[in-house]
Amino acid sequence: MDSSSRLRGLLRARGPEWPAPIEYLESAGSTNDVLKGRAREGAAEWSVVIAARQTAGRGRHGRVWISAPGNLYLSVLLRPALPRESLGVLPLAAGLAVCRAVSEFGVAAELKWPNDVLVRGRKLAGVLVEATSAGRGIESAVVGIGINVGLVPEELPPEDAERVTSIAAETGAVAETLGVASAVLARLSVCYDALAREGPAAVVQAWLRHAVTWWGRPVEVRGDGYTLRGIARGVDEGGALLVEDAAGHLVPVLSGEVSALRLSQP
């Protein structure tokens, strides 16, 4: 059986027939790019592209996402009926789906705004959402998900080895990537239903239950051309991080890299 039929079968075993094409590639530049091309050709919502390896995998802020075989590289197409201001909730929904999916494989992960899935501070997975808008709404959103499944951190350069982990490193067992993919897709569809039925606030509340607990603590956010220091206060309905600045104003942060500061840090 080919891999896309196997994934379709795994999804069928968990619920209704997957509603759109599933394309499995032995190698892709970036699954997000392949799926963006399919979206331009009118691909249906929930179309999936999955690759055994990527040669030009991308992370946020233009970073390289190293994509050797043995891990999961997956993109799924959504066409959400959301205003553009709510786009920031999609990475949260995807992160939540990943967190719930990996728990099925014995991994207790935490979520770090906006898109990191961590175990004891080490990166297990990341989410890259790339959207096109139409008027005040969103035309399409390609949700790219990378999960370290079989990765052996010790095989990476030392500076990377201590920052990453994988399902195999956490559990001592190598999970089937297609099994992880089916768990992620099934969980994403539940999160997306909740988003449509209950609205962004419900997804944000669920996300917060799995988030690193740094609310009320000092943080630093580094974005394109700015650095903001303040107290992390929460996440709003649009998925923006709320940081209280020195003047006591609540600043909604839409994108950036956030890190917790020690109280004594200047």
Distance of closest approach, residue 75 Cβ to ligand BTN, in angstroms: 5
Token pair of 213, please? 């607990």
- Residue among 160, 107, 232 nearest 240 (CA): 232
Distance of closest approach, residue 52 Cβ to ligand BTN, in angstroms: 12
> Is position 32 an interface residue for ligand BTN (rule: CB under 6 A)?
yes
Measured CA to CA, the distance from residue 129 to residue 76 in angstroms comes to: 10
- The 8 Å CB, 24+ separation contacts for 179-182 are 179/10, 179/105, 180/72, 180/101, 180/102, 180/105, 180/147, 180/149, 181/7, 181/10, 181/50, 181/72, 181/74, 182/7, 182/10, 182/11, 182/13, 182/14
Binding pattern for the stretch 103-142 against ligand BTN, x by CB under 6 A and - elsewhere: ------------x----------xxx--------------
Distance of closest approach, residue 34 Cβ to ligand BTN, in angstroms: 9
What is the number of alpha carbons within 13 Å of residue 45 lying toward its C-beta? Answer: 11
> Is position 65 an interface residue for ligand BTN (rule: CB under 6 A)?
yes
Nearer to ligand BTN, 180 or 231 (CB): 180
> Is position 57 an interface residue for ligand BTN (rule: CB under 6 A)?
yes
Q: Which stretch binds ligand BTN (CB under 6 A): 51-59, 79-87, 160-168, 194-202?
A: 51-59
Nearer to ligand BTN, 12 or 40 (CB): 40
Nearer to ligand BTN, 164 or 231 (CB): 164
The site for ligand BTN (CB under 6 A) is made up of 30-32, 54, 57-60, 63, 65, 73-75, 115, 126-128, 144-146
